[in-house]
Amino acid sequence: MTIVFIISAPSGSGKSTLVNEVRQIVSGLDFSVSYTTRPPRGSEQNGREYFFVSRSQFESMIQKDEFLEHAEVFGNYYGTARCFLQSAEEHGHDLLLDIDVQGAAQIKQKLPQAVSIFILPPDRQKLEWRLRSRGLDAEVVIQRRLVTASREIENYSKYEYILVNDRLEESVESLKAVLLAERAKHSGKPPGETEMKTIKKAECCRLSSIEERVKPILDSFRSAGTQKAH
Ligand code: ADP
Ligand code: 5GP
């Protein structure tokens, strides 16, 4: 059975970096390339990061019920085409969706078995730094993404796994552990020693294990909001 993994994160947390790394080391994992009406950024290519379409093309796809979910993010449409799930099922692969919190909620409603993962930045300052260092967005866009991030991170506790992307190699290992632990659980076979270790590692990304780590991250966003309000 295909496992659908949902990954959400505030823009700039390092989600694309993490997903790209993990796709190279975990086999049998398809990636759903979303459709969007936003223009390509940097070196993005049509069909690789996204399918870039016009608003009217996107709306026509909505009419034809071609999306598993879709949402409006930063003033643009983004959507997951149904065909990616069909293809993953046909090939016996799992499917990774990089979608926002609205899309994640829609998928969870349609596919309650989907496994959700939320990526958090180490704190607001590091998120701002990463957005700047990426060098892709204008200052006004960065500021808008930071405001949206403060809102989005409040949804972290709705996700089954939470990962703080501080040191990249560690985050890649944690994400890999979550994917493999879920595969082990879904396999129906009793876990061996290696699987048990992986499951234990993945459990470190549960809310109950990570709550203390998350508090200062949330505070860094909340206090920035308070300062702005004064
Ligand atoms: P997202 O997909 O969440 O918008 P990106 O993957 O584009 O974010 O990452 C934003 C920037 O942060 C990029 O310049 C990336 O190289 C950098 N980055 C990602 N993960 C880390 C990390 N763990 N430590 C330091 N920088 C990182
Ligand atoms: P970006 O423009 O930075 O690539 O993405 C902006 C946001 O849109 C991110 O939070 C990303 O996860 C989300 N996103 C990308 N594709 C989809 C999609 O198909 N559906 C939904 N709901 N969100 C998406």
Q: What is the CATH number of the domain that holds 18?
A: 3.40.50.300
- Number of CB atoms found within 10 A of residue 104's CB: 23
Structure-block tokens of residue 153 = 């991170």
Residue 49, CA distances (Å) to 20, 45, 52, 173 in order: 11, 6, 9, 23
Of residues 75, 71, 49, 73, the one with CA closest to residue 62: 71
- Number of CB atoms found within 10 A of residue 62's CB: 12
Of residues 77, 70, 82, 84, the one with CA closest to residue 32: 84
**pLDDT digits 0-9 by tens, 68-115:** 999 998 889 999 999 999 999 999 999 999 999 999 999 999 999 999
Q: Is the pLDDT of residue 22 over 70?
A: yes
Q: Which residue has the tokens 């004064």?
A: 230
**Atom in ligand 1 nearest the alpha carbon of residue 10:** 3
**pLDDT digits 0-9 by tens, 153-172:** 999 999 999 999 999 999 99
User: Which pLDDT belongs to residue 227?
Assistant: 64
State the average pLDDT over residues 4-19: 95
What's 67-90 look like in SS3?
EEEEEEECCEEEEEEHHHHHHHHH
Q: CB under 6 Å to ligand 1: residues? A: 9, 11-17, 130, 133-134, 165, 168, 171
Which of 83-92, 115-124, 141-150, 191-200 bottoms out in mean pLDDT, i.e. has the lowest?
141-150
The residue nearest atom 14 of ligand 2, judged by CA position, is: 99
User: Residue 69: nearest ligand to its CA?
Assistant: 2
User: Which pLDDT belongs to residue 42?
Assistant: 84
Where in the sequence is the domain holding 139, given as residue range(s)?
4-229
User: Residue 134: nearest ligand to its CA?
Assistant: 1
Q: Is the pLDDT of residue 209 over 80?
A: yes
**pLDDT digits 0-9 by tens, 23-67:** 999 999 999 999 999 999 888 999 999 999 999 999 999 999 999
User: Which pLDDT belongs to residue 129?
Assistant: 95
Q: Is the pLDDT of residue 228 over 60?
A: no
Of residues 1, 4, 13, the one with CA closest to residue 149: 13
Q: Which residues are CB-neighbours of 107 under 8 A, at least 6 positions away?
A: 4, 6, 68, 69, 80, 97, 99, 114
The residue nearest atom 10 of ligand 1, judged by CA position, is: 12
Domain count, the chain: 1
Alpha carbons 204 and 208: distance in angstroms, whole number: 8
pTM of the model: 0.95
